Amino acid sequence: DAPQPTYNRVMLKISGEALMGDQGFGLNPPTVERIAQEVKSVHDMGVEICMVIGGGNIFRGLQGSAQGMERTTADYMGMLATVMNALAMQSALESLGVFTRVISAIPMDQVCEPYIRRRAVRHLEKGRVCIFAAGTGNPYFTTDTAATLRANEMACEAIFKGTKVDGVYDKDPVKNADAVRFDNVSYDDVLANRLGVMDASAIALARDNNLPIIVFSLDEPGGFRGILSGKGTYTRVGN
Ligand code: UDP
């Protein structure tokens, strides 16, 4: 069983909420381990893997600022939340024997590595999973934008966006039984129709650099590996 991967280097973007299981907040270790297993199974195919994990399971800047906190401070708290998630994922991956580096956009040397592009590329070449933490390091951005930025810098062939559903639909498939999934959709259609793939700055950055976004279900066991070996359902956002 050694399917040939169709990609050599990819970015996996997951939300912070993907790590919380049914807890409603924070980190659920069995869920983190399950996702780490999915990552390992792709790593085992010889694919070089970058990851960005959101922070919404712990803190979101917009929520904090809606409650009266200064926006930039709240955003820094959100970025710190992503570092915690990255460390949890590193721990889960390394307990499965996958060497991993957490690389932060905000230097915190005692905790993880600072972001140095050439060094990160080298890690990938050596087969280490690179988890990019602290978003872009700037307030007013999201981790979707961070994933797109790092994917471009690392020359990933695509961003794999793991969600609760197996692609992009014309309307919310959880609420509408007649929602239709797209096999392919253009960046411009995603923007014009406000299809909930990623925020507009992330989509524009992907479009301007011709970086495809593969939206797939993270809940489907073996789904990530399946798509990388040419199987399964997903939506490809591209030109
Ligand atoms: N954030 C930020 N700049 C970035 C990335 C993230 O300020 O480049 C902050 C922002 O406040 C955001 C929070 O970090 O709400 C958590 O990230 P995000 O909401 O993207 O996480 P997800 O929804 O993917 O869990």
User: What ipTM was estimated for this complex?
Assistant: 0.97
pLDDT one-digit tens code per residue, 42-84: 999 999 999 999 999 999 999 999 999 999 999 999 999 999 9
Instruction: List C-alpha distances in Å: 115 to 103, 108, 120, 156.
Output: 5, 10, 7, 17
Tokens standing for 197?
């793939």
CA distance 160 to 10: 7
CATH topology for 9-238 is Carbamate kinase (3.40.1160)
| Cβ of 150 below 6 Å from ligand 1 | no
State how far the alpha carbon of 143 is from the alpha carbons of 83, 139, 202, in Å: 11, 11, 9
HSE value, Cβ hemisphere, 13 Å, CA-based, for 51: 31
* pTM for the predicted model, two decimal places: 0.97
Q: Which residues pair with 159 in a beta bridge?
A: 11, 213
pLDDT at 168: 96
Contact 27, 88 (CB under 8 A): yes
Would the annotation count 73 as a binding residue? no
Q: How far is the CA of 100 from the centre of ligand 1 (A)?
A: 22
Q: What spacing in Å lies between the alpha carbon of 9 and ligand 1's midpoint?
A: 24
How far, in Å, CA of 218 to CA of 166, rounded?
Answer: 8
Please indicate whether residue 223, judged by its CB atom, sits closer than 6 Å to ligand 1. no
Pairing of the two strands 184-186 and 235-238 = parallel
Q: In what order do the strands lie in the sheet with 100-104?
A: 113-114, 100-104, 129-133, 48-53, 9-14, 158-163, 213-217, 235-238, 184-186
Say how far apart CA 50 and CA 48 lie, in whole Å: 7
Distance, in Å, from the CA atom of 129 to the CA atom of 139, rounded to the nearest integer, reads: 26
* pLDDT surpasses 90 at 3: no
Atom of ligand 1 nearest to the CA of 53: 24
CA-64 nearest atom, ligand 1:
11
Mutate to test the pocket of ligand 1, among 75, 132, 163 (most ligand atoms within 8 A of CB): 75
Residue 45 has a pLDDT of: 95
Given the CA of residue 145, which atom of ligand 1 is nearest to it? 8
What are the tens digits of pLDDT across the range 203-220? 999 999 999 999 999 999
